[in-house]
Chain A
Amino acid sequence: MSYVEELVSSLGKEKVLTDPSERFVYGADWSPRTPDEFRPPDVVVLPRTTRDVQRIVKIAFAHEIPVTAGGGLTGMLGGAIALYGGIYIDTTTMNSIVEVDQRNQTVRVQAGATLQEVNDAVNPYDLWLPHQPESKWVSTVGSAIACDNDSTFGVRYGKILNCLLSAEIVTGTGEIIELGHRKAHFTSSGYKLKDLLAGSEGTLGIITEATLKLEPIPASRRVDMLVFPRMGAAVDYLSRLLKAGLCIEAAHINCKRRLRFYAHSYVQKFGKEPEIPAWAEALLAIAFAGDQEVVESQRAYALKIAKEFEALPVEERAIVDAWWASKYTLDFEPFKQKWPDSQKQKKFGAADPGVPVGRLEEFYHKFIHVAEKHKLEIIGMNAYLEHPNSIGFSLSCAVFVDYRDPEEVRRFRMFHDELSRLAVSFEGTMSTFMSDTYQKAPYLELEHGPSLKYMREVKRIFDPKGILNPGKKFPKEEHR
């Protein structure tokens, strides 16, 4: 019996898609890949339970077939692309809310629930999951963990790992194990294997359920934008706010070019570019949230201090609102959503390095230089604060890429790799929100050195046959 026949026999034919047109649909994400590189999975499966996933992996293990799990397919670097074909597991069919524990402020969900579905479920309890990427309507809990993506509110709540208490996975042998510390917020016991899941890209196991920490929904929120003459000045200002003891909910530094992209709905509405002072190089979007009195006092203090840093608030609310709609509320005018409208000719492509806080401005200029060198149209840079109550950036260095032009895709990859390597030389990291995927896999040793050997061993323990998402993190042949 072939493995596909076994899948049908084990799961039922309604959970197994084999038609070429169906496989084609599950074969692409948001990453710039040329049509020639496109390879759909050989079969798509739609599990409903952890046991279903276990059955799938056991069949794959027996036949040594690659298994790639995916969620919303909004990844920007091909993390959930079934690079070597095989089985694609669509986890979005596993989207049940297992338990909302109001008293302990936790939720247990199947990993295919979107972040929005989780929030829809917990909202009636006056709780929310603050891990909020722009893709939250589509991005699932499992993929947020496996990709370790960004959150709008990272400076207060951190990334998904800060919310993750426990996770159930199916390993590469088909074993079901729970990693984590139940509903306790932290532990000093054992090795923190749960933490390995963040950014693991489904290479260690397929996440099937997760217990997440929730937060009370703040009663009010104020969002402002400030313009700065330099990026470094915005960094210094944020450092000063934290020193002052303010509790910032969201902080994002945008270069001037990037504002244009994020203010897309403003341009649509008013038919003109947002006007900011000619001298301004950086824009900081900043939010405070909580009881109104607290929010207002913190905001007033923050705006007062801004003067010491040559900063000016953006007075035109429509600019701030357009940016915030793009970043968080997603409240676009009907029929005018930003993403398709802004990518009609070319698509968005980015590198996601991280650099020490004092070298942001220096790295920004390098980004511009590298993008120009590779003849790519620059969208701009964002620095998102992603570590609770400290200045820890993830950087999105974005350009437009025509994915239909192999030569331009090649130049984009050179741009991406050059920035990744540069970040390491800046004493930083190659990746902060997209993970490694196949793109960084060939040169991971540059960042991790001899510790890469230990990573391979970890991989071998969880996935001895190397069937889980092969080609990601390590080139395929290095699995064994």
Chain B
Amino acid sequence: MSGLEEFKDELETCFGTSCGFCERGCPVYQTLKIKTLCMRGRNRTMLGLIQGRFEVTPAVVQAAFECTLCGNCDRWCALKNTEHTRAFREYLLEHGVEPMKEHSSIVASIRNYGNPWFQPRSARARWAKGLNIPKASSGQQEVLFFAGCTSAVNKPLNKGLVAGAKLLQKAGIRFATLGQDEPCCGSTLLRVGQKAAFEELVEGNVKRFDELGISRIVTACPGCYTTLKRSLEDRGSKIQVLHLSQEIAQQIRTGRLELRKGREKVTYHDPCHLGRLGGVFEEPREIVKAVAELVEMPNNRYESRCCGAGAGLQSAFPKLSKDLAAKRVAEAKATGAAAIVTSCPFCETQLRTVPGTRVYDLFELIMDSIEGPEGKTGNLGRNRAAQDRSS
């Protein structure tokens, strides 16, 4: 039975119910207003396909891939819609559909370089230069800090990782990284329908973690967080996976990190993978509230709207992707916040594509609070000046 057949009962339920509650929060549907590109329509397309009512056409492929897998539809449903869509993509690839050319190159990059960014493996460790972080070795570390490829190989995002590592050091946590040998978590493969490649990758990763005696992984990337957590749990692993915000919030609670609160008003954007799909909502907010004034967007926590970067949308449907980012930024600006804080490198990059937007990495914000000159420009002052210069 194919992955799609496995969900046939759910597809029938959706067809029978037809409530359409998924439409209200779907960022793609709310932008394009085409029912084939919302979950109710996508479920119908899958059902029609496996019932043999029509063949695979470009419109079917579009229905499968023009989605960020943000999970907003799941919040308003009782069905596993995001899983359906993943299975839909896998089904199409298994049935002779060529991967979208943008996705093919990403997959090739992951195979060749261990990241989807066409960056050499050596680029993976550059961010940590000068930080004296040991490389993981068998049984020697309390925590494996899994940097994630996006922040590691994209220089403008390095600051968040550096801040995260420094925070762990300040809190006295004995951690290590895998340096340039850090593998891909597989998130991108999973989300563009490359299940076989994903499974192969995960098998290797789990083996490696076990050999190193890892008991806890802390990652700064929400995509890595949900992918590692789920894939390890699915394999019965006892390795605990945390997002860095969870680890840092705990250190703040126990007084191992002391922060200085500023007066700046910021809003927090929940990354889909960390929030709705990962269930981590409050720890990032605890952190933000410790250093700034938090003002919420109307769509927050489970209802947070996707930035538009996820699941291959950014590469394959760039215009739509940018439209989604602009919508989210407009929502943030309407709150009167001076900046958007987020805890995902994808969201950070994506939201920054909207002109005139200030976006900060959560951990950078904390470091600024710890290291920033007291009584000067406040927590965001230095960051703001830096972004102003870069723009």
Contact = CB atoms under 8 A, between A and B. Distances in A.
Interface of A: 17, 19-22, 24-26, 28-30, 35, 46, 72-74, 90, 92-93, 95, 114, 116, 135, 137-138, 330, 332, 334-341, 343-344, 346-347, 403-404
8 contacts: A22-B36, A24-B53, A28-B18, A74-B18, A138-B20, A337-B21, A344-B9, A403-B16
Contacts of B75: 334-335
A153 to B, nearest CB: 20
A25 B45 contact: yes
Interface string B1-38: 00000000100111111111101100000000111100
A340 B20 contact: no
Contact residues of A: prevailing secondary structure: loop
Contact of A24 (B54, B74, B302): B54
Interface string B249-287: 000000000000000000000000000100000000000
B19 A74 contact: yes
Interface residues of B, number: 40
Contacts of A73: 18, 20, 35
B78 A341 contact: yes
Contacts of B216: none
Interface in B335-352: none
Contacts of A339: 17, 19, 21
Nearest to B279: A334
B33 A138 contact: no
B19 A135 contact: yes
Residue from A20, A93, A346 having most chain B Cβ neighbours under 10 A: A20
Contact of A25 (B16, B41, B276): B41
Contact of B33 (A24, A28, A46, A404): A46
B295 interface: no
Interface stretch (B55-63, B96-104, B128-136, B383-391): B55-63
A24 B24 contact: no
B19 A24 contact: no
B317 interface: no
Contacts of B14: 340
Given A24-B45, A339-B19, 6 more contacts: A17-B34, A17-B36, A19-B58, A137-B24, A339-B17, A340-B77
B21 A344 contact: no
A35 B57 CA distance: 22
B117 interface: no
A340 B13 contact: yes
B16 A46 contact: no
Contacts of B76: 332, 337
Contacts of B24: 114, 116, 137-138
3 closest residue pairs by CB, A with B: A341-B78, A19-B59, A20-B54
B49 interface: yes
B138 interface: no
B390 to A, nearest CB: 36
B35 A21 contact: no
A115 to B, nearest CB: 11
A207 B48 CA distance: 31
Contacts of A343: 13, 16-17
B161 to A, nearest CB: 31
Given A90-B35, A137-B21, A340-B19, A335 B74 contact: yes
B212 interface: no
A332 B49 CA distance: 31
Contacts of A17: 34, 36, 59
A199 to B, nearest CB: 21
Contacts of B327: none
B21 A21 contact: no
Contacts of A137: 20-21, 23-24
A478 to B, nearest CB: 29
B79 interface: yes
A347 B21 contact: no
A344 to B, nearest CB: 5
A213 to B, nearest CB: 24
Contacts of B12: 404
Contacts of B78: 335-338, 340-341
Nearest to B56: A21
Given A24-B44, A25-B35, A26-B35, A340 B51 contact: no
B54 to A, nearest CB: 4
Given A93-B33, A138-B24, A343-B13, A28 B44 contact: yes
A114 B36 CA distance: 18
Contact of B13 (A26, A30, A344): A344
Contacts of A347: 16-17
Contacts of B74: 335
B79 A340 contact: yes
Interface in B66-99: 74-79
Contacts of B19: 30, 74, 135, 138, 337, 339-340
A32 to B, nearest CB: 8
Nearest to B43: A25
A98 B289 CA distance: 40
A73 B40 CA distance: 11
Contacts of A404: 12
